[in-house]
Amino acid sequence: VTVRGGCCYCSCNWVCTGALRGSSCSGGCYDARVAPGSGVCREARGGACVMYKEGVTGRAKEQVKMREGSTGCTANGDNNCQTCNIQISDKLYCSQCATGYVPIDGTCTQVGDATSGKCLKAGGTAVGQDDTQCGQCGASYFLHKGGCYKFGSTVATLICNDPAASSRGRATAVDGVCSECNATGGFFKNPAASDATKQSCIACGDEIGADQYKGRSNCAMCTAPAASNSGGTATCTKCVSPKYLKAGACIDSCASDNTEFAKEDSVNGNKCVSCGEQTDGVEGCNTCTYDSVTKKVICTKCSGSNYLKTVAGTTTCVADCGTGFFKNDNGGESSNLKVCSPCAANCLTCADGTAEKCTSCTAGTHFLLVATGSQGKCVSCGDATSGVPNCAKCNPPTGNAKPTCSECGSGYKLEGETCVSTSVNLSSGAIAGIFITAVVVMGGLVDSCAGGSSAAGGRDLGSKRPAVVFASGSPSGPSSVRRGARGTMGRGMAGSAH
């Protein structure tokens, strides 16, 4: 991208982040979106880094500075930095300095006493006035992208977890080599880093890497490749937003055939999840949908011979539908979709292919009314036709007989094999007793009237009392009482006529 005769050194999305005087473009920049501590954009296409994004603009032919506090260098010659392209956390650091300067902790330092024992040539000799990079580092430093970083320093700890002590607290420590790279910061250990001449740590997003080992584009966190004579590529475990992780790499979007879904996660990174994944998907699922609000996976079709089962909105893929369901090979929206369909109400198990052909019922409250063979329908124990009226629980019938009631419903009690009401139910004896009381009372009233004049206009009705004899429990008792009462009352009334 040419800017009024000058060249935009590093631009993404047409936003200039640095400018070089003259007409040539060189180098590139690290991708800020892979921070913290991740990969680089080392290829400048048309004079622009296609990946790096920095919200800073500048006018043509003017020096363009990076945002204050977000970088550690610029690539326009300031601070003696020639190539400012190392992304470590949220800052850029220098990888190649002006002649006579070398990178120490990402800052260009003049060759001399300040670099002695820190930055060396690859053979171990001191760097000279013609050098711009380090070939290896001293015992208290490790090599990273042409610069030496001191163990335990602020910048170094973003790359390497080793402490400042010379032994670095590890029995396997080698001078000039980081023994444990900062994995959470986006670096992995270079399998070839056996001595101080090798770069110890490689950024997960560094597609060039070192010693044939490299990272992956847009990768923020990863695991190192296995040691090999031919090198290897890291397996990405977290991508920069908005990329999605799939099979160890970072892609723009997930498949659109519903065999996987896009799961967005601002903390752990976005990823494409297979519908059948055991952890985040539905095991045994072939196609599915994903609700990003409820974070719920809904399987729409199972793989192989599995059946799709839905209970309370949750889907699973099973080989056996289980209690209350039957295998339906032609269910759901598709005519050939294998689903678990629910049996009829109160049907514990039913024959495959139909909801109505019950083979067992809800224990205690229903019984199987067999129609043919061992299949039928489930009937309530209290069914008026086939069961025992007002029965709540029963034992299954034998043959064509009715079930045996074991517990009646509310307001009823079991008498023999039937359920009768528990409300007040007057027996014949109780009725007779009430009638006797009524007769005695009336007889008493008649006698009391005989002793006074108010009840019958002052006429003397006599003092005869009714003689009633009733044998409790006798079937003829009530009728005898009624006859006795009539006689007594008749005589009383006759007496009153005199």
pLDDT per position as a tens digit, 378-410: 999 999 999 999 999 999 988 778 999 999 999
Whether residues 408 and 448 fall in one domain: no
**Sheet of strand 375-380: strand arrangement:** 347-350, 358-361, 375-380, 366-372
Q: What is the mean pLDDT of residues 426-439?
A: 48
Instruction: Give the pLDDT confidence score for residue 448 in this predicted structure.
Output: 44
Confidence of residue 166 (pLDDT cuts 50, 70, 90): low
Instruction: Give the pLDDT confidence score for residue 332 in this predicted structure.
Output: 64
Model confidence at 496: pLDDT above 90: no
Average model confidence (pLDDT) across the chain: 75
Whether residues 360 and 412 fall in one domain: yes
State which of 24-33, 86-95, 208-217 shows the largest mean pLDDT: 208-217
Which of 421, 446, 476 is the last residue before a domain boundary?
Answer: 421
- Note whether residue 474 is domain-resident: yes
Q: Based on the structure, what is the number of domains in the chain?
A: 2
Instruction: Kindly state the tokens that stand for 58.
Output: 């500048």
Which of 387, 421, 455 is the last residue before a domain boundary?
Answer: 421
Model confidence at 46: pLDDT above 80: no
Which of 421, 448, 463 is the last residue before a domain boundary?
Answer: 421
What percent helix, strand, coil does the chain show, rounded to 5? 10, 35, 55
Model confidence at 327: pLDDT above 50: yes
Instruction: Give the pLDDT confidence score for residue 379 in this predicted structure.
Output: 92
Whether residues 444 and 466 fall in one domain: yes
- Note whether residue 382 is domain-resident: yes
State which of 162-176, 353-367, 423-437 shows the largest mean pLDDT: 353-367
Whether residues 347 and 417 fall in one domain: yes
- Note whether residue 488 is domain-resident: yes
Looking at residue 391, which CATH number applies to its domain?
2.10.220
- Note whether residue 265 is domain-resident: no
> Dihedral (C-alpha) 186, 189, 192, 194: value to the nearest 10 degrees?
140
Whether residues 450 and 489 fall in one domain: yes
Instruction: Give the pLDDT confidence score for residue 61 in this predicted structure.
Output: 29
Whether residues 414 and 354 fall in one domain: yes
- Note whether residue 404 is domain-resident: yes
Model confidence at 343: pLDDT above 80: yes
Helices 477-497/428-450 angle, 10° precision: 20
Whether residues 380 and 442 fall in one domain: no
Whether residues 356 and 415 fall in one domain: yes
Q: Residue 279 burial (CB < 10 Å; 0-12/13-18/19+)?
A: exposed
Cα–Cα distance between 59 and 171 in angstroms, integer? 54
Instruction: Give the pLDDT confidence score for residue 165 in this predicted structure.
Output: 59
The residue with greater pLDDT, 441 or 125, is 125
Instruction: Determine contact, residues 275/288, Cβ cutoff 8 Å.
Output: yes
Percentage of the residues of the chain whose pLDDT score is greater than 90: 49
Structure confidence by residue, pLDDT tens digits, 173-199: 678 889 999 999 999 999 999 888 999
Q: What is the pTM of this model?
A: 0.61
Task: Give the CA angle between residues 102, 88, 15 to the nearest 5°.
Answer: 100
Whether residues 406 and 456 fall in one domain: no
Cα–Cα distance between 204 and 218 in angstroms, integer? 8
Structural domain for 454, as ranges: 435-497
Instruction: Give the pLDDT confidence score for residue 364 in this predicted structure.
Output: 92
Q: What is the mean pLDDT of residues 134-152?
A: 92
Whether residues 355 and 408 fall in one domain: yes
Phi and psi, residue 426, nearest 5°: -70, 125
Whether residues 411 and 443 fall in one domain: no
Which residues have CB under 8 Å from 11's CB, separation 6+? 1, 17, 47, 48, 49, 52
- Note whether residue 471 is domain-resident: yes
Instruction: Kindly state the tokens that stand for 246.
Output: 């799939």
Confidence of residue 251 (pLDDT cuts 50, 70, 90): very high
Confidence of residue 335 (pLDDT cuts 50, 70, 90): low
- Note whether residue 253 is domain-resident: no
- Note whether residue 134 is domain-resident: no
Q: DSSP state, 476? A: T
Q: What is the mean pLDDT of residues 70-97?
A: 79
Percentage of the residues of the chain whose pLDDT score is greater than 70: 66
